[in-house]
Amino acid sequence: MLYQVNMTVNLPPDMPVEIAEEIKGKEKAYALDLQRQGKWLHLWRVAGRYENLSIFDVDSHDELHSLLSGLPLFPFMDIRVTALSRHPSALK
Amino acid sequence: MLYQVNMTVNLPPDMPVEIAEEIKGKEKAYALDLQRQGKWLHLWRVAGRYENLSIFDVDSHDELHSLLSGLPLFPFMDIRVTALSRHPSALK
Amino acid sequence: MLYQVNMTVNLPPDMPVEIAEEIKGKEKAYALDLQRQGKWLHLWRVAGRYENLSIFDVDSHDELHSLLSGLPLFPFMDIRVTALSRHPSALK
Amino acid sequence: MLYQVNMTVNLPPDMPVEIAEEIKGKEKAYALDLQRQGKWLHLWRVAGRYENLSIFDVDSHDELHSLLSGLPLFPFMDIRVTALSRHPSALK
Amino acid sequence: MLYQVNMTVNLPPDMPVEIAEEIKGKEKAYALDLQRQGKWLHLWRVAGRYENLSIFDVDSHDELHSLLSGLPLFPFMDIRVTALSRHPSALK
Amino acid sequence: MLYQVNMTVNLPPDMPVEIAEEIKGKEKAYALDLQRQGKWLHLWRVAGRYENLSIFDVDSHDELHSLLSGLPLFPFMDIRVTALSRHPSALK
Amino acid sequence: MLYQVNMTVNLPPDMPVEIAEEIKGKEKAYALDLQRQGKWLHLWRVAGRYENLSIFDVDSHDELHSLLSGLPLFPFMDIRVTALSRHPSALK
Amino acid sequence: MLYQVNMTVNLPPDMPVEIAEEIKGKEKAYALDLQRQGKWLHLWRVAGRYENLSIFDVDSHDELHSLLSGLPLFPFMDIRVTALSRHPSALK
Amino acid sequence: MLYQVNMTVNLPPDMPVEIAEEIKGKEKAYALDLQRQGKWLHLWRVAGRYENLSIFDVDSHDELHSLLSGLPLFPFMDIRVTALSRHPSALK
Amino acid sequence: MLYQVNMTVNLPPDMPVEIAEEIKGKEKAYALDLQRQGKWLHLWRVAGRYENLSIFDVDSHDELHSLLSGLPLFPFMDIRVTALSRHPSALK
């Protein structure tokens, strides 16, 4: 099942650079791993913003929440989830 | 270049059913054609709503506007466009 | 899987009473049937408004959208869907 | 009487982890206790967010406020309450 | 129990004056009757708007919804309900 | 003249408890005094929130602002004021 | 006492021109009269919009509501009222 | 002086096509004329929407309002005006 | 030319009182000076809020921005500017 | 291709002045350089605010995001991007 997920990142302005870099490094590894597993289907940057538009393909709401709440940047993110269903005019 | 496009449809409540069906039929043909051309990359239904989330892959803003304003349902739609760029953690 | 569904009804002010009553009658039968099937788990009225808060228990986003778009009042409703997952502090 | 209660948690980013864990532990015990008493009827996680949708079943607004303001996480929550009444199409 | 109720009236611009007057007449009688019963505790006009701020004193959400949905102007109103509890600094 | 006043309190999360308690104590005394003078006519708690709905009865906007800006919690409050006039269907 | 009043006009698109002109003529006469009486202290057009910013100087909320609800365009206006008090840094 | 002007067009869905075309034709002539005079400095289409972003260069608010309220589509537009001043980092 | 200017002040809660008083003192002197020059035409307090409604009368957007960005409280204010033009029904 | 870019700056109130000045100096040099390259086509100040309206002329969403995320003030900005296409009534 597909979910639209919008993630906006708000790092505290006084977070030390090396801590921020460490978290971002873990986030990237985490994101690449989920993409390789086919669960994080698409990941795009919203131009001009520290925000992404993602499509997740998972089996249940519980699996989705488990994956999202495990994001290293989760405590610093505002996340919005939208359930997507098949469109009657979709080719695929 | 990729664009997130959200389309929400608002048909006038007094539109005769056969007119609505005719416009929807044209809309479907138009959507299938653009998907076959590879320009309308993804088309998902927002669950529970007469709304879709689409990803377009076109060469310019002008081409995008031309395609969208040609939608048979365009006069009855509220459309929002967001420019998407490559994400540094994207696998693809 | 559970979904929070908020439905707000907006009937056109010039809809004849007998048409409105007929649609509402069909809506009630449809709602009762889905509740008996266990798919429409809870149905509450938001006090003071022509709006409800519902919990659906279905197998997929597609099944949810199919059920919601089949509502007799669907053309006159604004519907919002929220995916609900298990809460770690929930007793059940 | 039933109330829809939405709780969104915003912990200060500089709160020490052990303090946060201690408050969350108390919150969980408090939530389990109210659920066992039948006052906190439902507790669901909004997928992807540090937010829940709850249904409370209490005798009065005063009892509701007393229970909510006693939540260990209350100072860090944004809470919205909606009064729910019986729906004429509800099976139960 | 006390409820804050905000009612905003939107009459269709093409409603004939005599129909509007008839509904308003019934509304006034209904409002006076509920005030005499002590259920509609306060009724104030929001200055400059076709809107009121009301305080209801009723036994349950169901009674409140029953009274509000019986308002002759109900089909033309947007109503918001807020549950009010006792304030620890209130004199009364 | 009557004014609807909504006050939402936002104490800084790092304010020491004894300072917060001292301010709240002064606030309560201040509120009781104005109620005894008949200027703070009603004071209700919005259920589930650190927010109140108040009705003030004072002679002028200047008097209202003077009373509100003198609230011990004023620097930590978001306040909204609405002018209320007599409703033609009000019993009183 | 001074009140900020924002009026936005929304005439129905199918209102006959001569009716609209007649109402606007009455509105102008009404506005000029209240200005001459010193009750409608300032009247400015918000550039680019069918909207005005006004300052009223009247004795009470009731008088304000009476004047505003008597506006010939009142049924077609969205009006917002804000109570203004003396500013401690004002020269006058 | 420069002004950002956003215009969103909302034609009534039941406006006859030939009337709409006539108004749009006049609008285009009007827009071209103001551009030739150097008063309508820039005119861009917001991609995917019946909306534009414009920059006007006129001598006063009054001149701006006079030009905008003279637009043939003015009765069907929602217009927002923002005053623009020189930016200290602007090259020109 | 006239401009509506809304200023809302948000001082950091941890700003020392003597610093706040010093800035406010400079702000008052600055405001009085501009009023004496006839540039800050009106200055009213929004009742119940640390916010004002002002009318400026200056020659250009640049002059307005220069005056506003020179306000001692400017770094702690949220400011909204609206261009005002002559109203056809204004007496003056 | 043209993009409308709105940038709002929010510097932390406790940022030392010399750090703020250093970042602003780099920002100005960066802005001037991009304007000289013809990529930052227009840069205007929104009157009364620490905000600008900019028009960028770049080849792709990726180039735009690269330029914007390289802004020295980027971590302290809220940025909104809107894709602009050619308007059929534009002279140029």
Residue A92 maps to a domain: no
Of C12, C65, C75, the CB nearest to B47: C65
Cβ(E41)–Cβ(E90) below 8 Å = no
Torsion angles phi and psi, residue G10, rounded to 5:
-130, 90
3-class SS string, chain H: CEEEEEEEECCCCCCCHHHHHHHHHHHHHHHHHHHHCCCEEEEEEECCCCEEEEEEECCCHHHHHHHHHCCCCHHHEEEEEEEEEECCCCCC
Cβ within 8 Å of residue I17, ≥6 positions away: none
Residue E59 maps to a domain: no
Residue I60 maps to a domain: no
pLDDT tens per residue, range A16-72: 999 999 999 999 999 999 999 999 999 999 999 999 999 999 999 999 999 999 999
Mean pLDDT (chain J, rounded): 97
Q: Which residue of F has its CA nearest to E82?
A: F46
Mean pLDDT (chain D, rounded): 97
Angstrom distance (rounded) from CA G42 to CA I4 = 12
> Which stretches of chain C score pLDDT less than 70?
none
Q: What is the pLDDT of residue A37?
A: 98
Cβ(E68)–Cβ(E80) below 8 Å = no
With bands split at pLDDT 50, 70 and 90, how would you rate the model's confidence at B14? confident
Q: What is the pLDDT of residue A92?
A: 81
Report, as an integer, the average pLDDT of G40-58.
98
* Per-10-residue mean pLDDT, chain E, length 92: 97 92 97 98 98 98 98 97 97 86
First to last CA, chain C: 14
- How many domains would you assign to chain I? 1
Task: Report how many Cβ contacts below 8 Å link chain A to chain C.
Answer: 31
CB spacing of J65 vs B85 below 8 angstroms: yes
Q: What is the pLDDT of residue I13?
A: 85
SS3 category, F63: helix
Task: Report how many Cβ contacts below 8 Å link chain E to chain G.
Answer: 25
Residue D34 maps to a domain: yes
User: E strand or H helix at J25, and its extent?
Assistant: helix J17-36
- Are 3 or more Cβ–Cβ pairs between E and J shorter than 8 Å? no
Question: Lowest mean pLDDT: which of E14-18, F4-8, H68-72, J46-50?
Answer: E14-18
With bands split at pLDDT 50, 70 and 90, how would you rate the model's confidence at F64? very high
C21-to-C26, C30, F76 alpha-carbon distances in Å: 9, 14, 51
The chains in contact with chain J, meaning 3 or more Cβ pairs closer than 8 Å, are A, B, H, I
In the predicted model, is pLDDT for residue B77 greater than 90? Answer: yes
Query: Comparing B48 with C13, which gets the higher pLDDT?
Result: B48
Of J65, J75, J76, the CB nearest to A48: J65
In the predicted model, is pLDDT for residue H14 greater than 90? Answer: no
Residue F32 maps to a domain: yes
Residue type, D7: M
Q: What is the pLDDT of residue F14?
A: 87
For residue C91, what are the β-bridge partners?
Answer: none
Please report which residue ranges of F1-92 form alpha helices under DSSP H: 17-36, 61-69
pLDDT tens per residue, range D23-67: 999 999 999 999 999 999 999 999 999 999 999 999 999 999 999
Report, as an integer, the average pLDDT of H36-59.
98
Which residues of chain F make contact with E43, given a CB cutoff of 8 A? 87, 89-91
Q: Which residue of I has its CA nearest to F66?
A: I48
CA distance A30 to chain B (A): 9
Query: Comparing D13 with J26, which gets the higher pLDDT?
Result: J26
Residue F7 maps to a domain: no
Residues of F with CB under 8 A from a CB of G: 1-3, 60-62, 64-65, 81-86
pLDDT tens per residue, range H16-45: 999 999 999 999 999 999 999 999 999 999
A90-to-A81, B28, B74, F25, H82 alpha-carbon distances in Å: 21, 9, 18, 63, 41
In the predicted model, is pLDDT for residue F92 greater than 90? Answer: no
Residue G21 maps to a domain: yes
Note down the domain range covering H27: 14-39
pTM: 0.96
Residue J22 maps to a domain: yes
pLDDT tens per residue, range I3-51: 999 999 999 988 999 999 999 999 999 999 999 999 999 999 999 999 9
